[in-house]
Chain A
């Protein structure tokens, strides 16, 4: 009798687990956009990267972003070279990533088009240093397609980035804008 109860419970748990796994959807893109602006003086110090790799899970709100530093494009080639060599040291630290959760994912109705405010929290790793980040954004749904937009600022020195013009031509805080269409 005991064996039957255990077996039945095991089967029921297995069915439930499969149903949960079936119910969740992973949204993914490899061509998201991230904008970076650290203008501190007259000269604009801004770049864009169009190869953001990102995924999020609708059931849990788990979200990740990954970006390659050498993929940032500046208008000015010299700025791009300095960004890679003197500040980000992108040969040593070739990527940056964010791993976290959309805290209020349950407030998003994935069956209904609309714009949903989201609160995201997680760890942002840049230049080999990881820091906790919390920010707001918008998750939009349109005909089954999802997109996420958001912006936040980071204190450049918090990530162990040093450089001659920090706090002068280069702002102490960089503004990061994200736009991912999944």
Chain B
């Protein structure tokens, strides 16, 4: 009888663990994405960020890659990406490289090119410009 209850106990633990694992991998992880806006951020000026990436990309990645940044700069252009999200280029119009930002929103923003703006988003690295995704206007 004791052996039987031990077996039931072990089976119950295994079943619960499997259920927990399944829930975490297939349910929780699907519905809970990284909440970028609630994470600790680093404040920086747009032209300083792009200049640091131009000077030493590897060092800049060490400091900013995959981190949430609060970036302030002048809007150069406002556009939309292929899925309708608002994109901004911020920095200096005559600079070789700037900061390319994709906002989470699809509706138009009130700011215009030439305005100074502060956004908060995730730094994914640099191509021809520093790329910021999942951003919101502060």
B-binding residues in A (CB < 8 A): 30-33, 43, 50-51, 53, 66-71, 75-79, 90-91, 94-95, 179, 181
For the complex formed, measure the closest distance between the CB of B20 and the CB atoms of chain A, giving whole angstroms: 14
Query: Are B129's CB and A30's CB within 8 A?
Result: yes
Given the known interface contacts A50-B102, A68-B131, A179-B82, the answer about A78 and B66 at a Cβ–Cβ threshold of 8 Å is no
For the complex formed, measure the closest distance between the CB of B30 and the CB atoms of chain A, giving whole angstroms: 5
- The listed residue (B34, B82, B126) touching A31 by CB distance below 8 A is B82
In order of increasing CB-CB distance, the 9 nearest A-B pairs are A78-B29, A31-B81, A53-B127, A70-B124, A66-B127, A68-B125, A94-B125, A68-B124, A71-B124
For the complex formed, measure the closest distance between the CB of A68 and the CB atoms of chain B, giving whole angstroms: 4
Contact residues in A for B128 (Cβ distance below 8 Å): 30, 53, 66
- What residue of chain B has the Cβ atom nearest to residue A55's Cβ? B128
Give Cα A79–Cα B88 distance, bound, in whole angstroms.
Answer: 29
Query: DSSP class of B's interface residues: helix, strand, loop or mixed?
Result: mixed
Query: Are B65's CB and A91's CB within 8 A?
Result: yes
Contact residues in A for B30 (Cβ distance below 8 Å): 75-77
Contact residues in B for A78 (Cβ distance below 8 Å): 24-25, 29
- What residue of chain A has the Cβ atom nearest to residue B101's Cβ? A51
Query: Are B125's CB and A50's CB within 8 A?
Result: no
Contact residues in B for A66 (Cβ distance below 8 Å): 127-128
Query: Are B61's CB and A50's CB within 8 A?
Result: no
- What residue of chain A has the Cβ atom nearest to residue B122's Cβ? A70
Can you identify 26 A-B contacts, CB atoms within 8 angstroms? A30-B100, A31-B80, A33-B82, A33-B83, A43-B26, A50-B81, A50-B82, A51-B100, A51-B102, A51-B127, A51-B133, A67-B127, A68-B127, A69-B124, A70-B124, A70-B125, A71-B124, A75-B30, A76-B29, A77-B32, A77-B34, A78-B24, A78-B25, A78-B29, A91-B61, A91-B65
For the complex formed, measure the closest distance between the CB of B45 and the CB atoms of chain A, giving whole angstroms: 21
Contact residues in B for A179 (Cβ distance below 8 Å): 82
Residue from the set A43, A50, A51, A76 with the largest chain B CB neighbour count within 10 Å = A51
Give Cα A43–Cα B29 distance, bound, in whole angstroms.
Answer: 13
Contact residues in B for A95 (Cβ distance below 8 Å): 125, 127
Query: Are A77's CB and B131's CB within 8 A?
Result: no
Contact residues in A for B92 (Cβ distance below 8 Å): none
For the complex formed, measure the closest distance between the CB of B91 and the CB atoms of chain A, giving whole angstroms: 13
Taking A68-B126, A95-B127 as given, write out 5 further A-B residue pairs in contact, using a Cβ cutoff of 8 Å, ordered by the A residue number: A50-B82, A51-B124, A68-B127, A78-B24, A91-B61
Contact residues in B for A68 (Cβ distance below 8 Å): 124-127, 131
For the complex formed, measure the closest distance between the CB of B64 and the CB atoms of chain A, giving whole angstroms: 11
Contact residues in B for A33 (Cβ distance below 8 Å): 82-83
Give Cα A30–Cα B24 distance, bound, in whole angstroms.
Answer: 35
Residue from the set B34, B85, B131 with the largest chain A CB neighbour count within 10 Å = B131
Tell me, yes or no, whether B33 is within 8 Å of chain A by CB. Answer: yes
